[in-house]
Structure 1
Amino acid sequence: MTKIAAIIPFFQRKSGFLTAAVQSIIGQRLPDDARVHILIVNDESPVDPLSEISHLQFPENVSFEIIAQQNAGPAAARNNALDAVPAETEFVAFLDSDDVWFEDHLRTAMRALGDEGVFYFSDNYEDRPVTTFEKTKYFSRAASAGDWEIVEPALNIFQFKPRLAFKAFIREYISQTSTVVYRFSRFRDLRFDSDLRYSGEDYFFWLSIANSGSPVTFSSNVNGDRDKGVSVYRDAYSWDSPKVLVRLLGNLLFWKRVGASFKLDDDDRQILDEHINKTRMGISYLIMRNSRRDRAKSVGAIFSFLKMDPLGIAQSPALIMKAIGLARKGLLEF
């Protein structure tokens, strides 16, 4: 019997999202021997999770439990769920509470992971009709196809060549959380870094698995859909959002932690430096831009930047000039 844990961190202000997410798990076309246990972590959500799913009919091969925690964000929620995963569980799958899986998601993941695979992800709709893979630079480059081999043509399943998954991951975030399934039995002690609450806790987790050198697989099939509920990271992408500077400071912490935690070759180190410098430029530009609107918050951001990255703040004047030049050309993005 194959046992799968499906983990859903839950904090929503609008009802209906969790119902749809859990229904998409119930509707999976599972292998005959598969059993799914859903772990919903209530992160002090304004919407009660039990009221969202108590009316649903659960088949014998799907069960659920709700875990309560004080509000601490998705990383802490996923860690609490991982602590509660039954010992005999082979695989863990992640699903955000405002996303859904298509019916063949878990079946495809099981085929892709087989007996040796440790990490799987797939394409999904990020903003219909656009998919996650279509938005990435990595999957848009023809040269990237040299990084993997096809292993299951009927399901468009590919496997990265040894060590190339880590290199692909460090270049760009390509594995959206709600598509990820990994072999829990190989990484029972791995947890999300809750210090990265505002940016990168899932990204760091994926890098940690990819760094093991074990097989990483993916399907180019679209096996899920993302919605527009509460998302700490997604809500911080608007230039006018007060959270965007928090996100960029979180990005900087993330990339510095990557540099300190993994053994990087020269190519990896160059990519890391590019990420750090781009993030420094974004922080510097936004502090300058926002200082006219909220001087107190800008001063606070300067102190946070200085504490985290003295070199970066020393480079701020030059980075701001570069950012202004890019903004005038319509090329500025973070």
Structure 2
Amino acid sequence: MSVQAKQVAVLIPYFQREPGILRNTLGSVLAQQGFDDYQIIVVDDGSPAPAREELEALGAEQERIILVEQPNAGPGAARNTALATLPADTPYVAFLDSDDALHPSYLADAVHALDQGYDLFFGNSQRADIEDTRFEWRSGPGATLETASHTVIDPDRNLYAFQGDFFDFIVYRSNIIGPSTMMYRQAIAPDIRYNEQVYNGQDRIFKLMLCQQVGPVAFSTRCYAQEGKGINIFDSAGWGSERSLSFTASYIEMCKVVLNQIPLNERQRAHVKAHLAQTRYNFTASLLHQARQRTGIDWKAVAKTLRHDPGTWIGFLPNVARILLRKAQSA
């Protein structure tokens, strides 16, 4: 496929069961103001609601959109297909989830920042049914984004230059960057790809790998995206749900990938190890909860986790004891 490069490529992995969701997301991109040198690459990952039908309703606006269709392989594979379709000389890359909606100024503001020599731009966003924006989410010491600690670039756009070690910051606060409010300079990491084996948490691995490569970083406190609830892995895997086991199992795998594949200093490794230990505890607690409630247990996820992660197996009985002790203390 021959694709002519634009200044920005917006990459959208797509899998939804409800018609109209993608059309609304694409509409938010097509409604961008103050910037029009962009193209959209949609990868239909075997979606039950076909992307082709969504695009037909857009009329002439379809000319901006490149559609790639593939059998279902997961969101990481769909994003990697989009990256492979991307022209090598595209200056800037952005991702957009297929159920999110962008603020009309997003592309113009992000390009304005990157054009000044920054390698990465990120903005604020808000998830459905959560009152606080991502910048306001609770964080540990040293992981709060205080604007007073950073340099104002453009007050009209609420745009700042990040001061400090950005990779270190992201190790502790990767969730401050939403899936749809990050744009980066392709030349700094042209070969970076998503880990297709880690279903949940692959975004975090990608952000960590990318942020190891970036130089200057800019951010804006503006809320640039409303994150939807089409098919959302996180929202469908709440505590006690049938998917919570597979969700925590995948996060165990994610932590191990970070520890094994991403260079970290001693303090950063300790933080990720603590996250891994807590996730193993959560896995055990979720398993006990579902067994007690007699809900459907994903035994395949249980077997895979115990087989591939000795730490979960070794810590199983100690974690059971901790859970029972906490329950007795709260009774």
How does the TM-score come out when normalised to structure 1?
Answer: 0.87
In structure 2, the partner of 1:20 is 24
Give yes or no for contact 1:255–1:275 (8 Å, CA) kept in 2: yes
1:313 matched to 2:313: yes
1:8 matched to 2:12: yes
2-side partners of 1:36 and 1:289: how far apart? Answer: 48
Mapping 1:23-34, distance limit 5 Å: 23-31=27-35, 34=36
2-side partners of 1:306 and 1:112: how far apart? Answer: 46
In structure 1, the partner of 2:64 is 63
Q: Which runs of 5+ in 2 are unaligned?
A: none
Q: Which runs of 5+ in 1 are unaligned?
A: none
1:282 matched to 2:317: no
In structure 2, the partner of 1:241 is 241
Q: 2:48 aligns with which of 46, 49, 61?
A: 46
CA change 1:99–1:324 in 2 (3 A) is farther
In structure 2, the partner of 1:87 is 88
**1:247-297 superposed Cα distances (whole Å, 9 cap, x missing partner):** 111111111111112221122122111101110100111222223456994
2-side partners of 1:87 and 1:141: how far apart? Answer: 34
Q: What amino acid maps onto 1:17 in structure 2?
A: I
CA RMSD of aligned residues (A): 2.7
2-side partners of 1:254 and 1:106: how far apart? Answer: 30
Deviation at 1:242, TM superposition (A): 1.2
Give yes or no for contact 1:134–1:140 (8 Å, CA) kept in 2: no
Deviation at 1:147, TM superposition (A): 6.1
Give yes or no for contact 1:210–1:216 (8 Å, CA) kept in 2: no
In structure 2, the partner of 1:103 is 104
SS of the residue 2:197 aligns to = helix
In structure 2, the partner of 1:157 is 159
Q: Percent identity?
A: 26
1-side partners of 2:202 and 2:218: how far apart? Answer: 21
CA change 1:327–1:149 in 2 (3 A) is farther
CA change 1:201–1:327 in 2 (3 A) is farther
CA change 1:53–1:124 in 2 (3 A) is same
1:119 matched to 2:120: yes
Deviation at 1:213, TM superposition (A): 4.5
CA change 1:140–1:106 in 2 (3 A) is farther
Give yes or no for contact 2:240–2:289 (8 Å, CA) kept in 1: no
Give yes or no for contact 1:290–1:298 (8 Å, CA) kept in 2: no
Give yes or no for contact 1:19–1:52 (8 Å, CA) kept in 2: yes
2-side partners of 1:93 and 1:276: how far apart? Answer: 29
CA change 1:327–1:67 in 2 (3 A) is farther
In structure 2, the partner of 1:231 is 232
Mapping 1:245-264, distance limit 5 Å: 245-264=245-264
Q: What amino acid maps onto 2:73 in structure 1?
A: A
How does the TM-score come out when normalised to structure 2?
Answer: 0.88
Q: What amino acid maps onto 1:131 in structure 2?
A: T
